[in-house]
Amino acid sequence: MRTAQIERKTNETDIKLALNLDGKGNSKISSGCGFLDHMLTLFARHSRVDLELSCIGDTFVDYHHTAEDVAICLGGAIKDALGEKKGIVRYGDITLPMDEALILCAIDISGRGGSYLAFDIPAYKVGDFDTELCYEFFAALSRESGITIHLRQLAGTNSHHIIEGAFKAFARALKKAITIEEKFKDEIPSTKGVI
């Protein structure tokens, strides 16, 4: 089983995270931010990973440190659980509709993390979640996981739908990329021989 556990404690957050890449999409999420919990729950369901997360953060300030540190832990767990990355498809992409929103996501588990996002999110907040934290989340996740992430908003006017579409699209692309190709299960998908 491709699993990982991460514990991270700073002056801003105290996080415990458990991840199973070969799960069924089950989740138990408590980040202290309802909107982030919603995004991580649907991320787990659509990527078919099992995810448990508890975070106690300085939410009296705002959700910045919580969102970024949760992404750091999730990215680190994905990287750890993938190990040498033998047999993975490596690439994943999808164009995902979420009502009026349409999101394109393409990823490469390259070992060279980079987050390339193009959104036009009309609202500054969804509930009490600052929508700019979507950028911070994927930047931290890509950096820690070593995954190159391209996310593009092709259409959309509802801020909730745009962000939810982004999380679902990333989840679906990740599901493809982490799939093991049985025929090549002992090969690392790179001419370098390492990712």
CA 168 – CA 171 distance, rounded (Å): 5
Q: Is the pLDDT of residue 168 over 90?
A: yes
pLDDT tens for 42-59 read 999 999 999 999 999 999
- Domains, the chain, in order of start with CATH, read 3-184 (3.30.230.40)
What pLDDT is recorded for position 82? 98
Residues 171 and 42: beta-carbon distance below 8 Å: yes
How many CB atoms are closer than 10 A to CB 117?
17
Given phi > 0 = left and psi -120 to 50 = alpha, else beta, which region is 32? Answer: left
Q: Is the pLDDT of residue 170 over 90?
A: yes
Contacts of 37 (CB under 8 A, 6+ apart): 29, 30, 31
Q: Which helix (H) or strand (E) holds 5?
A: strand 3-9
Q: Which amino acid is at 51?
A: L
Q: Angle at Cα 153 formed by Cα 148 and Cα 154, nearest 5°? A: 120
| Average pLDDT value for residue range 100-119 | 97
Q: Is the pLDDT of residue 151 over 90?
A: yes
Residues 101 and 116: beta-carbon distance below 8 Å: no
pLDDT band at 106 (very low <50, low <70, confident <90, very high): very high
What pLDDT is recorded for position 174? 98
Q: Is the pLDDT of residue 193 over 90?
A: no
pLDDT tens for 120-134 read 999 999 999 999 999
pLDDT tens for 15-24 read 999 999 999 9
pTM flag (> 0.95): yes
Residue 11's Cβ-count burial label (10 Å; 0-12, 13-18, 19+) is exposed
